[in-house]
Amino acid sequence: MSPLPMTVAVGCVALSLGALLTEPLRRFALRYGVTDRPNGRKGHARPTPYLGGIAVAVVTLAAGAATAFAGGFGSPGLAVLLGGAAVMAVLGLIDDLRPLGPAVRLGVEATAATAVVLVGGHPTLLGGPLDAVIAVLWIVFTTNAFNLLDNMDGASSSVGAVIGVFLCWQAWWIGQAGLGLVLVALSGACLGFLLHNWHPARIFLGDSGSLFIGFTVACAAVLLHKDAAGLAAPAGLLAATLVVTVDTALVMLSRYREARPLLQGGLDHASHRLRRMGLTVRQTALAIGTFAAVGGLSGVLLAHGVLPSGGLLLAATVLGLATVALLLRVPSAAVPAPSVAAAGGVELSVGRQMARQTAGGAPDLRKEPSRIGESGMAG
């Protein structure tokens, strides 16, 4: 069977299963109270269940198991990747039910990433053991960057679907068919879940889903570039995950400039700033997904030899920095607005104004759930 029909078939099955499995998980979460409850610092108006990420993880891992069973597509690196991704889903589920400390989460993530790098390989950057350390750190960073991106309806799942498609394209191109099938299953499962997560969301990914997607995408990118050397590796990795890198850089720089704790959550992500620029929640998700598609397509063109690695690395860096600079000009929720006279002489900050607007049915700027770096925002 040729790659295209097989890819389409696996993607369609994964989409269907992802959509079907999400609904019973939603009902289960509602029944047992596994929900993100609204408060004055959250935009959604009613308790919304987590656990949607379990559907994405189950479908993706099932595709990996089926691939291994069918034979001919398996590899040690892929097997360890799937094992580590399963650990991420469990880790995230535990954190959804009972928040874990950053040290525990980082320790588990680093251990799983190390296993993937040692077994599956890594790009050559400096030509020594430090290359493996860099690869592990990059996987951990990207995993948590995806976790932070899950802050608005449809954002993380749409980006995961888009990046998965382009990484699948690269996998088939270089002959890693097994990895390609896992990636298209991930994309299909994300799209199936997105049917429930599209604004207004009826269920959220939760840490189980965002950590799973981030880890799978990050490790897949490393395995796809394990034979790369020089500028090809950083160019390809940055292009594939440009959107999450930009978002994380934006919030860290913003919080540093505003003298706020770097690990305290807030409504200062790229998605929230796009909302303040006038985009709707759905338009914001589409804009972020389009940005991810630009990076993904650039990575594919690099793999095909159409784009030079040095030129792509420079272009991605300039685009990322320009995007961060542009969005930094949009005030974050932490920056006080000019005083607005309220009844009784009370002055309202931007955050309170937004909260009142949200309560009145204005933009949904829901606060991201408890996660590493954002656990201080848990409600």
Selection from 364, 53, 43, 75 nearest residue 219 by Cα: 75
Q: Which residues have CB under 8 Å from 99's CB, separation 6+?
A: 370, 375, 378
Computed over every residue of the chain, the mean pLDDT equals 84
The pTM of the full predicted model, rounded to 2 decimals, is 0.86
Q: Are 267 and 374 a contacting pair, CB within 8 Å?
A: no
Q: What is the pLDDT of residue 367?
A: 38
Q: How far apart, in whole angstroms, are the C-alpha atoms of residue 78 and residue 373?
A: 29
* pLDDT mean values, one per 10 residues, the chain (379 residues): 81 96 94 74 65 96 86 77 97 92 95 96 89 96 94 93 96 90 96 95 94 97 91 94 95 90 82 94 96 96 94 96 95 52 33 36 38 35
Q: How far apart, in whole angstroms, are the C-alpha atoms of residue 292 and residue 127?
A: 30
Q: What is the pLDDT of residue 45?
A: 55
Q: Are 179 and 171 a contacting pair, CB within 8 Å?
A: yes
Q: What is the pLDDT of residue 216?
A: 97
Q: What is the pLDDT of residue 73?
A: 55
Q: Find out whether 247 is annotated in a ligand binding site.
A: no
341 bridge partner residues: 347
Q: What is the pLDDT of residue 194?
A: 96
pLDDT in tens, 39-48: 544 544 567 8
Angle of helix 52-70 relative to helix 206-224, nearest 10 degrees?
40
Helix (H) / strand (E) element for 316: namely helix 309-328
Q: Find out whether 95 is annotated in a ligand binding site.
A: no
Q: Which residues have CB under 8 Å from 100's CB, separation 6+?
A: 91, 94
Peptide bond into 24 cis (omega under 30): no
User: Which two three-digit tokens encode residue 230?
Assistant: 């020089």
Residue 220 per-residue DSSP state: H
Backbone angle region of 342, left / alpha / beta, with phi > 0 → left and psi within -120 to 50 → alpha? beta
Q: How far apart, in whole angstroms, are the C-alpha atoms of residue 268 and residue 149?
A: 11
Q: How far apart, in whole angstroms, are the C-alpha atoms of residue 274 and residue 276?
A: 5
Q: What is the pLDDT of residue 284?
A: 96
CB 187: neighbour CB atoms within 10 A?
28
Q: What is the pLDDT of residue 349?
A: 33
